[in-house]
Amino acid sequence: MFEQAGSTLNLFAARNTLNRIGGFDFPSSWYLTLNSAFLWIFAPVFAWLWIALGRREPTSPVKFALGLIMVGIGFAILVPAAAMTRSGTLVSPMWLTATYLCHTFGELLLSPVGLSAMTKLAPVRVVGLMMGVWFLATSVGNYVGGRLSGLYESLPLTQLFGAVGAFAFVAGLIMWAGSRPISKLMGEVH
Q: What is the pLDDT of residues 9-42, one digit of tens each?
A: 999 999 999 999 999 999 999 999 999 999 999 9
Q: Which amino acid is at 49?
A: L
pLDDT at residue 20, as a whole number:
94
pLDDT at residue 189, as a whole number:
46
d(CA 187, CA 184): 5
pLDDT at residue 85, as a whole number:
95
Angle separating helix axes 93-121 and 60-84, nearest 10 degrees? 160
pLDDT at residue 180, as a whole number:
67
Residues of the chain with pLDDT under 70: 180-190
pLDDT at residue 153, as a whole number:
84
pLDDT at residue 117, as a whole number:
79
Candidates 10, 28, 19, 161; CA nearest to 93 is 19
pLDDT at residue 121, as a whole number:
81
Bridge partners (DSSP) of residue 25 are 20
- CATH fold label, 2-189: Growth Hormone; Chain: A; (1.20.1250)
Kindly list the distances between the CA atom of residue 151 and the CA atoms of 3, 179, 184, in Å, as whole numbers in the listed order: 15, 33, 40
pLDDT at residue 106, as a whole number:
94
Return all residues near 118 (Cβ < 8 A) that are at least 6 apart: 127, 130, 131, 133, 134
- Print burial letters for 169-185: b (CB count within 10 Å at least 16), e (below 16): bebbeebbeebeebeee
CB-CB contact of 109 with 66 (8 Å): yes
pLDDT at residue 89, as a whole number:
93
pLDDT at residue 184, as a whole number:
58
pLDDT at residue 190, as a whole number:
44
pLDDT at residue 12, as a whole number:
94
